[in-house]
């Protein structure tokens, strides 16, 4: 709470935030670089475009050694969706709420947000655009390709083991 006694409003995770290791484990990506994207329903037209675009670009994510996970709530499951990456069910919007993702369009749509995380679970990119689902793929791919290969800062690691690189 702020000094005025009002809660500050926060719109989802930000770059530099850390995702809890248990949540990464639940999503099957603990210790891995990953894209976590939230969407509404398997069969909604804009969501179908996003799912297909991530699937189309999956070889590029794999080349960058980045896993892809799509997240929707149980109401968003519409039959069997066949893609080459994992789809997770967010029962009761637990993960959305933990990430702080707000609903769009006066609460009518679940927020469409995409996070790119390094192997430690630190958020390195955030994208939010309800109306351009394919932009989530291009933004995430750019962030994934620009992430260090190891996900570790070698200068920082050298300092931990007592080597001065400066």
DSSP 84: S
> Any idea which of 28-42, 63-77, 123-137, 151-165 has the lowest mean pLDDT?
151-165
Instruction: Compare 11 and 79 and report the one with higher pLDDT.
Output: 79
At residue 53, does pLDDT exceed 80? Answer: yes
Most confident of 38-42, 72-76, 114-118: 114-118
Instruction: Name the helix (H) or strand (E) containing 115.
Output: strand 113-117
Which residue, 142, 126, 140, 137, is CA-closest to 51?
137
Instruction: Name the helix (H) or strand (E) containing 139.
Output: helix 133-145
Q: Residue 106's pLDDT is what? A: 52
Q: Among all residues, which ones are annotated catalytic?
A: 47
CA distances from 28 to 63, 161, 165 (A): 19, 30, 35
């Amino acid at each position: 709470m702020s000094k005025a006694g009002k809660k500050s409003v926060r719109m989802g995770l930000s770059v530099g935030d850390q995702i809890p290791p248990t949540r990464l484990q639940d999503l099957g990506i603990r210790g891995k670089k990953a894209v976590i994207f939230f969407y509404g329903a398997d069969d909604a037209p804009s969501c179908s475009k996003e799912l297909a675009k991530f699937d189309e670009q999956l070889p590029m994510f794999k080349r960058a050694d980045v896993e892809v996970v799509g997240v929707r709530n149980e109401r968003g499951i519409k039959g069997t969706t066949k893609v080459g990456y994992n789809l997770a069910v967010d029962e009761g919007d637990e993960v959305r709420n933990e990430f702080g993702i707000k609903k769009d369009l006066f609460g009518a749509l679940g927020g469409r947000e995409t996070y790119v995380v390094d192997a430690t679970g630190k958020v390195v990119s955030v994208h939010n655009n309800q109306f351009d689902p394919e932009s989530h793929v291009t933004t995430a791919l750019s962030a994934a390709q620009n992430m260090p290969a190891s996900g570790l800062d070698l200068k920082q690691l050298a300092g931990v083991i007592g080597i001065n690189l400066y």
